[in-house]
Chain A
Amino acid sequence: MKITKKEVEHVAHLARLELKEKDKEKFTEQLSDILTYVEKLNELDTKNTETTSHVISIENVFKEDVIKDSISLDEALNNSPEKEHKHFKVPKIID
């Protein structure tokens, strides 16, 4: 499967990644190679094979709804790159 530079740009946008021009070219080539490699899965007939998303069979896991201590507001904000008045600060969203 060959992937185009345009597709790389589209996927980068979906992934919220800005790519440098030289990275776009490198990824176009490398992702094409990897996608070609993984196409070997098409050698297998899986028409009637179920999917496995999780190997250990677990049914819904429930627990009692008990209120417990959580981390404090200060601790939660401690790692934020920018904060103001007990909030995470981000660039302006609405004009």
Chain B
Amino acid sequence: MKLFQMTIHDLHEMLKKREVSCKEITNSVFERIDKVEDEIKSYITITKESALKEAEEVDRFIKNGDNISPLTGIPLAIKDVLCVKGIRTTCGSKILSNFTPPYDATSIKRLSDQRPVFVGKTNMDEFAMGSSTETSYFGITKNPWNLETVPGGSSGGSAAAVAADECIAALGSDTGGSIRQPAACCGIVGLKPTYGRVSRYGLVAFASSLDQIGPMTKDVRDSALLMNVISGKDPLDSTSADIPVPDFTKALIEDVKDLKIGIPKEYFVEGMNKEVETKVWEAIKLLEKLGAKPKEVSLPHTDYAIATYYILATAEASSNLARYDGVKYGYRTKEKKDLLKMYKKTREEGFGPEVKRRIMLGTYVLSAGYYDAYYKKAQQVRTLIKRDFDEAFKECDVLITPTSPTPAFKIGEKMEDPLQMYLSDIFTISVNLGGIPAISLPCGFSKDNLPVGLQIMGRHFDEETILRVAYCFEQNTDHHLKKPEL
């Protein structure tokens, strides 16, 4: 196996035993990028120069005999929604195409303290609004498993970079499925933590009550290793939770005996993709064979999740994106006769169609006369969706569903029909509305050799149990070991 193909924990063992240098690992990853990036286009910005410098520093550090942490010397990719000091951060948008943050996001700061190597910033749907990475101002990312299909989105660049071995692991962000759905499409592991588990400071805001940062990795152990570092209370984000962070790797035990697994019947409906359905049921049967106790449950308000989400998320987005006015940072129009005209032109030229559509929808549902009918109503339905989960978790330890209703779809297929695009998040959105954690991991391949994702949802702040179930499943299957041919 080549160095670039390996996991965080594999490489850590080798670094610890001095079997390899950080420079060798980093060079290997950049050789891989040189070979496949022209086809895949995972990255918006590649930071080769600073990465090689970081690698040399790490090697000096290791040579000094200092103790190294599991992330030391590991080449990581970062979704371009997270601020990294001194490195252009675009959020996939023209309006931020020239923005260089003067500070680090807290998750980046916490990673940096462990001395990894930052390879670059990955492509994404503009402002994380999309399910295919096709709305990026910087072009389309391809799915490494089939270059004619999308990698999913919005964290499609991170997912593709991990799947194509253009990095060892990556960070993404998830507002309605943006970590899990691309992870499923690209056959990798993606975890959306509980709302509040990871500080959002320095994450360019989309919908503040739903956004979470999380790991996108080649296996479940790597997911736990990244969670160990990025989690925890942060004074700079008042919504980050003051709850102790466990060592998530301790949860990785190959045992699901007597765990109660809920199968929400609303997620297995008439007309769903047969291949996805079959693979997910095979996964449930395997877990049952390993000792878990599956049980049908009901989440009766599932059918209302997308409508609820597209009111709340767009309302929050319309407010969050009001800051892009061409004054303090970002793109400014050349036409600037007066201030109001300058604002309007800047935003017209700086935002792409999907972002405009969502700003419009969000502004509409918050506008005078419509607030109660849409926004307040959606907040009430959010309560019902959250209660569904509370009820289900009284009788189950985890819930298992497909991550996405279909394997990766064709590039261009859903771009003209926004509602169809929104429906590709049908199985992931409720999790954000309920604020619970969920992980997606590969559970098989379609007949066209496209990955299928299994989603495991857990109780608030119980990432440990979903990691345990995911780990146990992974150790008894080999889907995560398959690589796309590139």
Contact = CB atoms under 8 A, between A and B. Distances in A.
A16 to B, nearest CB: 5
B76 interface: no
Interface residues of A, number: 52
Interface string A14-26: 1111111001000
Which among B238, B301, B322 has the highest number of chain A CB atoms within 10 Å? B238
Contacts of A55: 195, 209, 386, 433-435, 460
A13 to B, nearest CB: 8
A15 B64 CA distance: 56
Interface in B347-403: 347-348, 351, 353, 356-357, 359-361, 363-364, 367, 374, 376-384, 386
Chain B residues touching A, range? 35 or more
Contacts of B325: 16
B139 interface: no
A16 B340 contact: yes
A49 B380 contact: yes
A17 B356 contact: yes
A16 B460 CA distance: 38
Contacts of A63: 235
B310 interface: yes
Nearest to A50: B383
B99 interface: yes
A65 interface: no
Looking at chain B's contact residues, the main secondary structure is helix
A38 B360 contact: no
A7 B368 CA distance: 12
Given A11-B360, A54-B239, 11 more contacts: A16-B347, A20-B348, A31-B357, A37-B307, A38-B311, A38-B378, A39-B307, A41-B304, A43-B304, A58-B238, A76-B102
B196 interface: yes
B103 to A, nearest CB: 7
B98 A79 contact: yes
Interface string B62-101: 0000000000000000000000000000000000001110
Interface string B336-353: 111111111101100101
A92 B460 CA distance: 51
A13 B23 CA distance: 53
B347 A81 contact: no
Given A56-B239, A81-B326, A92-B338, A37 B419 contact: yes
Contacts of B326: 81
B274 to A, nearest CB: 26
Contacts of A90: 327, 339, 342
Contacts of B344: 16-18
B484 interface: no
Interface string B300-341: 010110111011000000100010011111111000111111
A44 B304 contact: yes
Given A30-B418, A53-B209, A55-B195, A78 B100 contact: yes
| A contacts with B: majority SS | loop
Contact of A46 (B332, B339, B381): B381
Nearest to B239: A58
Interface string B262-289: 0000000000000000000000000000
B307 A79 contact: no
Nearest to A13: B344
A56 B353 contact: no
B357 A27 contact: yes
Nearest to A43: B304
Contacts of A58: 196, 238-239, 241
B339 A56 contact: no
Contact of B380 (A12, A20, A30, A51): A51
A51 B383 contact: yes
Contacts of B341: 18, 91
Nearest to B434: A55
Contact of B327 (A3, A76, A88): A88
Given A27-B360, A40-B304, A90-B339, A71 B102 contact: yes
Nearest to B373: A42
Contact of A12 (B304, B330, B360, B434): B360
A79 B239 contact: no
B435 A41 contact: no
A50 B374 CA distance: 15
Contact of A31 (B102, B304, B361): B361
The 5 closest A-B pairs by CB, nearest first: A55-B435, A79-B329, A81-B332, A51-B379, A46-B380
A3 B238 contact: no
B363 to A, nearest CB: 4
B327 A56 contact: no
A30 to B, nearest CB: 6
